[in-house]
Amino acid sequence: MTLKEGATQEVNSRWPEHKQRNVALMNDWYGKQYHSNMLAGIQIVRDRYHSLKDNGANAWSTTQNMRDLLDDLAGI
């Protein structure tokens, strides 16, 4: 999976696009905790994406710790 596809999958599998749009329109649509957790999760994925890209990677990879953290943030 490419970097972009992998990062997109990490985010969308936890925070569906329609919920991302709703939160963008109204911050507390699903509650303040959901909003802050979603933003934190997306930033974690973005940081991982940039780290991989800066190191010359072409394929998405992640760690179990990162997946567990994202799952916790998403309430999975």
Distance CA(48)–CA(17), nearest Å, equals: 20
Return the domain boundaries, the chain: 3-74
Q: Give which of 4, 66, 76, 74 is closest to 37, Cα–Cα.
A: 74
Q: Per-residue pLDDT for the chain (76 aa), expressed as one digit of tens each?
A: 899 999 999 999 999 999 999 998 998 889 999 999 999 999 999 999 999 999 999 999 999 999 999 999 999 8
- List of E strands, 1-76: none
- Cα dihedral sign, 22-24-27-30: positive
Structure tokens at 73: 């943030």
CA torsion angle for 76, 68, 13, 45 (degrees, to 10)?
A: 140
